[in-house]
Amino acid sequence: MDFPLIRQLKHLGQHPHAPFYAPGHKLGRGMGAPWREWLGEEVGRADFPELPEVGNLFGTTGAIAKTQHLAAQTFGAQETFFLVNGSTGGILAAILATCGEGERLLLPRNVHQSALHGLILSGAMPVFIQPEYDPGRDVAYGVTPEAVEGALGEYSDIKAVLVVYPTYQGIGGDLEAIANITHHYGVPLLVDEAHGAHFAFHPDLPPSALSLGADLTVQSTHKVLGALSQASMVHVQGPRLDRARLNHALRLVQSTSPNSLLLASLESATYQMATEGEALLTETLALAAQAEAAIATLPSLNRVDWPTVPRPGYQWRDRTRLTVFLQHLALTGFEADEILQQLGVIPELPLEKSLTFILTFGNTPQDIEALISGLEYLSATFPPQDPSPPLILPSPLPPPRLTPREAFFRPKIALPIAQTIGRICGESICCYPPGIPLLMPGEEITATALAALEQVLHLGGEIIGLQDANFETLLVVNC
Ligand SMILES: Cc1ncc(COP(=O)(O)O)c(C=O)c1O
């Protein structure tokens, strides 16, 4: 294992020269006082442009090409591209590389917003399938192979399938079966593996998307491994994906001046995984197990746990991702989040009745102690309660009338909610629970969708995404 980019950047930083290239801070010397007083010049001495020795994200020579090749070997891909705009950029490019104007992309309803943005950029028509939803725990799982097969059978012109593996809570569906089905139909499988960059490096973690047959997978290296924010990777394998088009799509959504610190952090994370990944993740899994065992002793928090056997959409669970269920505590996840923050513990994702924590090898035993003592405080301070019945289940999908791109470019008006039935929705409307969008731009606003919206509001749920914070009007396409 080698780290050619970091070696090259160090060499450039130490080698005296007169820099007449961008960036303008010139090896940190021109950085403003607030920065210099905070971090000094050292960071600037590592920030280089695409000099010939460094290369660029799409070249075949230079240190970047070498380090991307090493990353492909380490993560089990045929080819790897570094991303400097997060997994967001990778998902945009994956959609642009596979689906054009009016072509169909099969994807779960609860995809990250970057997938909707990819649809807007490409002009593709989504075919949504509902993920499996667990109302007792109020979490969405993966989509099932049966749902994927049903949609591929119904629409013969689907160009690609995109799935989320794992979910934010670390749950993965039966990706291998989904890969077999999509390949049977001759369609590439794209995976949003933003939360699974560590999977390839420990046998007690879920298998990586590549090992289960994904043609392309996008990983937020910065979320779970030791890379800087925004630093992500897209990995590809097999013959189904047009690599030249992917290459072009990646150029389309990314800067021509990728930050060398971000790229170096990807190289460092790769090196770390190749040399000590399994040992580090063994420690992380032990910390997570310690936290889970402690939570199991807390009276109001130990009453809901994950299923112990697979169920539809739930095949794998990442045990480094900790979710605490609050169904039996008189406290919402948002309230619990605020209290924990005051105690110096900052969760990743609060939802109505759960809190999710990301654990990595960057966490220390002291972090786990602080987490456990914060949860002990919640459990001891707030009264127990009987869980309320599930608020709402995902409703039937509204009929699509325009592509998200068409809806994006059409003029829109805000109408009182009651007057919007039959109109085309101009915004994305997501209710919590169940955290699955009720309406997407381009879809017809149906009486059923509005009834579901009313019910969520009536029962005290949350609506995310509405332009009108008072929930009185909806944005509709003005046509
Ligand atoms: C499931 C999922 N996909 C994609 C993304 C986008 O990742 P990034 O922040 O690396 O752009 C996120 C971000 O939270 C995510 O949760």
Return left, alpha or beta for 435; rule: phi > 0 is left, psi -120 to 50 is alpha, else beta. left
What's the gap in Å between 225 CA and the centre of ligand 1?
Answer: 14
Which contiguous run of DSSP H or E holds residue 250? Answer: helix 243-253
66-72, Cβ contacts within 8 angstroms, sequence gap of 24 or more: 66/2, 66/4, 66/5, 67/3, 67/4, 67/5, 67/263, 67/266, 67/267, 67/270, 70/1, 70/2, 70/4, 70/267, 70/270, 70/274, 71/233, 71/266, 71/267, 71/270, 72/235
Lowest mean pLDDT, pick from 226-235, 341-350, 427-436, 438-447: 427-436
Residues 320 and 284 sit within 8 Å (Cβ to Cβ): yes
Q: Token pair 């910065």 is at which residue?
A: 222
pLDDT exceeds cutoff 70 at 337 = yes
Report the pLDDT value the prediction gives residue 383, as an integer from 0 to 100: 86
pLDDT, position 394: 59
Residue 30 structure tokens: 């021109």
Mean pLDDT of 179-204: 98
User: What's the pLDDT at 359?
Assistant: 98
Q: Work out the pLDDT band at 391, boundaries 50, 70, 90.
A: low
pLDDT at 432: 75
Question: What's the rounded mean pLDDT across residues 86-115?
Answer: 97
**Which tokens belong to 286?**
């032990």
pLDDT surpassing 70 at residue 167: yes
Model confidence at 352, in pLDDT bands (50, 70, 90)?
A: confident
CA-to-CA separations, 92 to 83, 102, 183, 475, in angstroms, rounded = 11, 16, 22, 25
The structure tokens 């290459």 sit at: 247
**What tens digit of pLDDT does each residue of 286-309 get?**
999 999 999 999 988 988 889 999
Question: CB within 6 Å of ligand 1 — which residues?
Answer: 86-88, 112, 114, 164, 168, 192, 194, 220, 232
- 3-state secondary structure at position 317: strand
- The string over 267-299, giving b where at least 16 C-beta atoms fall within 10 Å of a residue's C-beta and e elsewhere, is bbbbbbbbeebeebbeebbebbeebbebbeebe
Q: Which atom of ligand 1 is nearest to the CA of 192?
A: 3
Contact 67, 123 (CB under 8 A): no
In which band, very low, low, confident or very high, does the pLDDT at 192 lie, cut at 50, 70 and 90? very high
Ligand 1 atom index nearest CA of 230: 10
* DSSP helix, strand, coil percent of the chain (3-state; round to 5): 35, 20, 45
Q: Which positions ≥6 away from 353 have C-beta within 8 Å?
A: 137, 138, 325, 326, 327, 332, 333, 387, 433
Centroid of ligand 1 to alpha carbon of 256 (angstroms): 22
By percentage, how much of the chain surpasses pLDDT 90? 84
* pLDDT value at 431 more than 90: no
Of 84, 95, 114, which is best to mutate to test ligand 1, by the most ligand atoms within 8 angstroms of its C-beta? Answer: 114
Give the helix/strand (H/E) hosting 473. strand 473-477
Q: Could you tell me the pLDDT band of residue 70, with boundaries at 50, 70 and 90?
A: very high
DSSP string, 180-216: HHHHHTT-PEEEE-TT-TTGGG-TTSPPPTTTTT-SE
Q: Which atom of ligand 1 is nearest to the CA of 88?
A: 11
Q: Who wins on pLDDT, 456 or 277?
A: 277
pLDDT at residue 85, as a whole number: 95
- Report the alpha-carbon distance of residue 98 to residue 78 in Å, rounded: 18
- Domains of the chain in start order, with CATH, are 278-381 (3.90.1150.10), 404-477 (3.90.100.10)
Q: Which atom of ligand 1 is nearest to the CA of 89?
A: 11
Averaged pLDDT score across all residues of the chain: 94
**Quick check: 395 pLDDT over 90?**
no
- Nearest atom (ligand 1) to Cα of 83: 10
Distance CA 148, CA 133 (A): 16
Pocket test for ligand 1, best of 110, 220, 229, 232 (most atoms within 8 A of CB): 220
Q: What is the pLDDT of residues 128-160, one digit of tens each?
A: 999 999 988 889 999 999 999 999 999 999 999
**41, 27 in Cβ contact below 8 A?**
yes
What is the whole-number distance in angstroms between the Cα of residue 30 and the centre of ligand 1? Answer: 34
346 Cα: distance to centroid of ligand 1 (angstroms) = 19
Q: Taking Cα atoms as reference points, which of 165, 161, 242 lies closest to residue 209? A: 165
For CA atoms 55, 61, 62, 67, give the dihedral sign. Answer: positive
Calpha distance 343→351 (Å, rounded)? 19
Give 447 Cα–ligand 1 centroid separation in angstroms.
Answer: 32
pLDDT value at 102 more than 90: yes
Answer yes or no: is pLDDT of 405 > 80.
yes
How far lies 111's CA from each of 107, 114, 140, 159, 456, in Å? 7, 8, 11, 17, 20
Query: How far, in Å, is the centroid of ligand 1 from the Cα of 194?
Result: 5
User: Quick check: 443 pLDDT over 80?
Assistant: yes
Distance 348 CA to ligand 1 centre (A): 13
User: Is residue 468 pLDDT above 90, yes or no?
Assistant: no
Atom number of ligand 1 nearest to Cα 220? 10
